[in-house]
A and B are shown apart, each in its own frame.
Chain A
Amino acid sequence: AQSVSQHNHHVILSEAASLELGCNYSYGGTVNLFWYVQYPGQHLQLLLKYFSGDPLVKGIKGFEAEFIKSKFSFNLRKPSVQWSDTAEYFCAAAPSGSARQLTFGSGTQLTVLP
C-alpha cells in the first residue's frame, strides 16, 4: 500500500533560518509528488509538484524540493524562512497517471518566530 511519512510533526524556527522538511514515500511504481501548504484558517494550496524531469523543483514563495529516487524522498527546503511561512505543510504522493487516491503525510506544523 502507498504511504507517505513526514518526520517532523512540529518545527520551530527563527526568521531567516533555513528550513528542510523531510518526506519519504513508499510505493513500488512511478509517482507524482506534491507539497501542499495550509495557512491558518485557509484551504490547502499547492506549493510545488514533481512529475518527471529535473529532480529539483522550484515552487512558489521561494520553496524548492528535491526528488531523490534512491532514497524515496522528496524533502522541502527554503534558504531563509519568514514569519508568514508559519503554516502546516503536507507532503503527498499519487501514482503517475492517476488521481484516484492522493496519499498525504501527517503534516508538519512550522512555526516561525519573528
Chain B
Amino acid sequence: NAGVMQNPRHLVRRRGQEARLRCSPMKGHSHVYWYRQLPEEGLKFMVYLQKENIIDESGMPKERFSAEFPKEGPSILRIQQVVRGDSAAYFCASSPNGAGGHTGELFFGEGSRLTVL
C-alpha cells in the first residue's frame, strides 16, 4: 500500500497561487483516482484517470482544477488561483489493470495536505 507515492506531503500556498500535487501509482497500476477530504468530512471523489486519458471527472470543480496522467511521469492535480476553501487533504489512489475486472479496491497514498493562507 505504501507503493502509492504522493508529494508533497504538506503544501502551503497563499491565496491566488497555484498548487501542484503529484501522485505515482503502485507499480503495474495504470488507473489513478483523486479524492479530496475536507475537514470533518469524508472522502469525495474528484477524478479518475488512466494513462493520457481522463475517464471520469464528475467530481472536479468546474473551474481552477485540472488533472492529468501523462504517458511518462506521475499524475498531477493542479489547482490554480487557490482560495482558502481549497485547504484539504488530497488523496491519490491507484488500482491495477482490469484483469479479472474492476473490483473497486483502491490502494491509497498518504495524502497531500494543502493549506491556503
CB distance from B25 to the nearest CB of A (A): 13
- The binding surface of chain A is classed by DSSP as strand
Interchain CB contact under 8 A, B42 and A42? no
Interface residues on B, range: 20 to 34
Q: Are B108 and A97 in contact (CB under 8 A)?
A: no
In the assembled complex, which residues on chain B have CB atoms less than 8 Å from the CB atom of A98?
102, 104
The answer to the question of B53 belonging to the interface, with a C-beta cut-off of 8 Å to chain A, is no
Within 8 A of A (CB), among B1-33: 1-2, 4, 31, 33
Q: Which size class do A's interface residues fall under? A: 20 to 34
Q: Which residues of A contact B42 (CB under 8 A)?
A: 6, 90, 104-107
Across-interface contacts of B56 in A (CB, < 8 A): 100-101
Q: Is A43 within 8 A of B102, CB to CB?
A: no
Contacts from A to B (Cβ < 8 Å)? 6, 9, 32, 34, 36, 42-46, 49, 51, 90, 92-107
